[in-house]
Amino acid sequence: MSLSRKDFLKAAVCTIGLAPLAIMAASSARTAPDPRALQGASWAMAVDTTKCTGCNECAVACHKGHNVPNVGNSKQEVKWIWQENYEGAFPELSHNYVDEGMKKRPFMLLCNHCENPTCVKVCPTQATFRRPDGIVMMDYHRCIGCRYCMTGCPYGARSLNFNEPRDFLKEINPEFPTRVKGVVEKCNFCEERLAIGKKPLCVEACRYQALTFGDLADANSEIRKLLNDHPSQQRKLSFGTKPKVFYIV
């Protein structure tokens, strides 16, 4: 039987085309989790506003460690954790006769890693997704930059890279990826640090122990004790997003 060149090429290309499947099968080996990794089923953060001085060290540490650019234009800024006043943090609770102390108090805002996150619901490519341990993650490679997640988030926790971030980074932390213009980013609860047994950068940077990170599912955790012993509130509870950042007031 004589094989025509056309048939040979067809067969060859099809066979070669199967190679990626073989490669994928071979590389389906999984990586074992790091034994140091912090274990948790429901990660959460408590911000003790009675202790917070508004020094901003948490934000500086976070942005430095995660290569968050300072684009110098507040309209298009990128921020993972930042300071707000009471009126901005709780506009639905703020009235005209709030006490002076509360008016001056700093409130650190960040992604709430909601249990019922709107951003995850609306993302058309699952570039943002919720992990079983409660962290709402971003896949910078899959994000198409549609900003639906930004539109959906009721907390204003997300930022688009309107500019090329590397143009605005004085120094780059090589241990964490930089992003590119056109993708959305936000606080990731330092999942890369949790994986090697370390607490989030903001928690570590705070000199006043105002930030407590822990597992809500662990009844003996520090955060559960804190919430048990002090009155706390959350942002925009009525929306049903079930945020996991608590403010001790």
Contacts of other proteins in 200-239 (CB under 8 A):
236, 239
Q: Which two structure tokens, joined as six digits, stand for 138?
A: 């971003």
CB of 60 to other proteins, least distance (A): 19
Q: Which is nearer to other proteins, 39 or 151 (CB)?
A: 151
Q: Which is nearer to other proteins, 160 or 201 (CB)?
A: 160
Q: Which two structure tokens, joined as six digits, stand for 195?
A: 């994986």
CB of 169 to other proteins, least distance (A): 18
DSSP state of 220: T
Helix (H, G, I), strand (E, B) or coil at 122: helix
Alpha-carbon torsion (156, 159, 70, 204), positive or negative: positive
Q: Using an 8 Å Cβ cutoff, are 209 and 66 in contact?
A: no
The separation between the first and the last C-alpha atoms of the chain, rounded to the nearest angstrom, is 85
Q: Which is nearer to other proteins, 56 or 83 (CB)?
A: 83
Q: Which is nearer to other proteins, 36 or 181 (CB)?
A: 181
Of 52-60, 97-105, 138-146, 221-229: span binding other proteins (CB under 8 A)? 138-146
CB of 126 to other proteins, least distance (A): 5
d(CA 10, CA 18): 13
For other proteins, which residue of 36, 41, 91, 208 counts as binding (CB under 8 A)? 91
d(CA 155, CA 98): 22
Fill in the amino acid letter for 194. L
Q: Which two structure tokens, joined as six digits, stand for 98?
A: 């709030």
Fill in the amino acid letter for 204. E
Contacts of other proteins in 168-197 (CB under 8 A):
181-184
For other proteins, which residue of 60, 152, 222, 249 counts as binding (CB under 8 A)? 152
d(CA 63, CA 70): 9
Bin 156: left if φ > 0, else alpha if -120 < ψ < 50, else beta: left
Q: Which is nearer to other proteins, 179 or 224 (CB)?
A: 179
The yes or no reply on residue 115 touching other proteins (CB under 8 A) is: no
CB of 81 to other proteins, least distance (A): 14
Residues that bind other proteins (CB under 8 A): 75-78, 84, 87-89, 91-92, 94, 118, 121-127, 142-148, 150-156, 159-163, 181-184, 236, 239-241
